Each structure stands twice: as structure tokens, then as C-alpha cells.
Amino acid sequence: LTFRETGDGVFAAHSYKFSPAASTFIVECDEETWARAGLDRRTDEETRRYLGEVFARDLSGHELMSNNSRWINFLLVKNGRWSRRNVVLVGDALHTAHFSIGSGTKLAMEDSIALFQLFAAGRDVSTALAEFERTRRPVVEEYQQAAHESRLWFEHARDYTHLEPTQFAFSLMTRSRRVTYESLK
């Protein structure tokens, strides 16, 4: 996780290695920064070069690659009903959690495991699906709330850049409200 402040505003990069030769590099910023930087008008190539300059010291001479990248607003998915007859939704079709808490895949896998366990225990379809929703919905809603708090923190990262490094790190660590001062002691 890297933050860079420019004349246009604050950019945050979420990065992680996915192969020996490449890493995922997701950049986010608030709407004002996006507009001031002209990212609404730049081509993919111009955006890649601009962000390469913003994060130059972090990239150690490497260039950013692009795959028809797009600036998007996070899409929150919630469903009033999780199933109908013998059809059930799981993963991002059922619910999303902002990527900044890193739990989307975890939630999808836990959904699948819960469904498997219910059917393996011999539940009929309607009972299994009702129990699936009853047990998983509170868990998902808790993660979605934490993800919402985290997303808001990143959308207002400029409000925290003036903090001393330790204060900034504490604010970042506790942004989702799932981690507290007590749990960090």
C-alpha cells in the first residue's frame, strides 16, 4: 500500500505480486483529484505514463503496464433475496465488499463451503438455502459494513496525510472499525 501526494491530490496504490515478473497495481483517488489530474480526458497510455510519474520512486524504474484499464466507482452489490427455488447466488453476484479489506474471495469461498456443508448434512434444497441465508447474511453484512468504512477512508485519504506517520498508520489500521486500539495493544 503506497500513498503519494501530488499537486493534483492524493493517490493510493494497492499492489501485490501475482507472478515472478509482474504485480497488480491498483490506483485509487478521490473524484476531485481524478478531475484535477485530467484523468477524465487522458487516454489509457497517458494515464499509465502519468501514474508512472506519480509512483516513479516506488516502481524502481519499472513501467506500469495496462490492460485497457478503466477508472470506475466501486459497485456495491446487496441482494434482498439470496435464492429462488433451486438457484442460489454466491460471491460477487450475491454481495461485494470493497477490495481495500481484501475479503471478497474469502466471503465467496465461505459461502460455497457453507452451502456444501448444508447439502452434505442432508438438508433439502429449500431448508439448506434458507439456513444458508440465515447464517451467512449477518457475516456478510458485517464485512460489507467494514468494507464501507474502509472505502470511505480511502476516498478521504487526503484528510489523513497531514498526520504523523504513526498516527497515519493507526488511522489506516483502524479504518474499518474491525481493528481497535485495544486489539492492537
**Percentage, residues of the chain above pLDDT 70:** 100
Say whether both 133 and 65 belong to one domain. no
- Residue 122's domain comprises 74-185
Asked if pLDDT for residue 178 goes beyond 90, the answer is no
165 and 88 assigned to the same domain: yes
Last residue of a domain, one of 70, 88, 110: 70
Q: Are 138 and 174 part of one and the same domain? A: yes
CB 66 within 8 A of CB 52: no
Phi/psi at 3 (5° precision): -115, 135
Residues constituting the chain: 185
78 plus 65 within the same structural domain: no
By C-alpha distance, which of 144, 133, 134 is closest to 178?
144
Q: What is the pLDDT of residues 10-28, one digit of tens each?
A: 999 999 998 998 999 999 9
- Mean pLDDT, range 148-172, rounded to an integer: 95
Same domain, 51 and 83: no
Phi first, then psi: give them for residue 79, nearest 5 degrees. -125, 135
Whether residue 14 is found in the same domain as residue 85: no
Boundary of a domain, candidates 70, 85, 115: 70
The contacts of residue 184 (CB under 8 Å, 6+ apart) are 170, 173, 174
Q: What is the CATH number of the domain that holds 157?
A: 3.50.50.60
What is the pLDDT, as a whole number, of residue 81? Answer: 96
**DSSP annotation string for 92-118:** GGT----GGG--HHHHHHHHHHHHHHH
CATH label of the domain that carries residue 24: 3.30.9.20
Residue with cell 452489490: 77
Which residue among 70, 96, 111 closes a domain? Answer: 70
Same structural domain, 90 and 52: no
For the entire predicted model, the pTM comes to: 0.87
- 43 and 101 within one domain: no
Per-residue pLDDT tens over the stretch 70-124: 888 999 999 999 999 999 999 999 999 999 998 999 999 999 999 999 999 999 9
**Among residues 131, 139, 79, which one has the least CA distance to residue 107?**
139
Average pLDDT of the segment spanning 36-58: 96
- Quote the number of domains for the chain: 2
Q: SS3 of 16, please?
A: strand
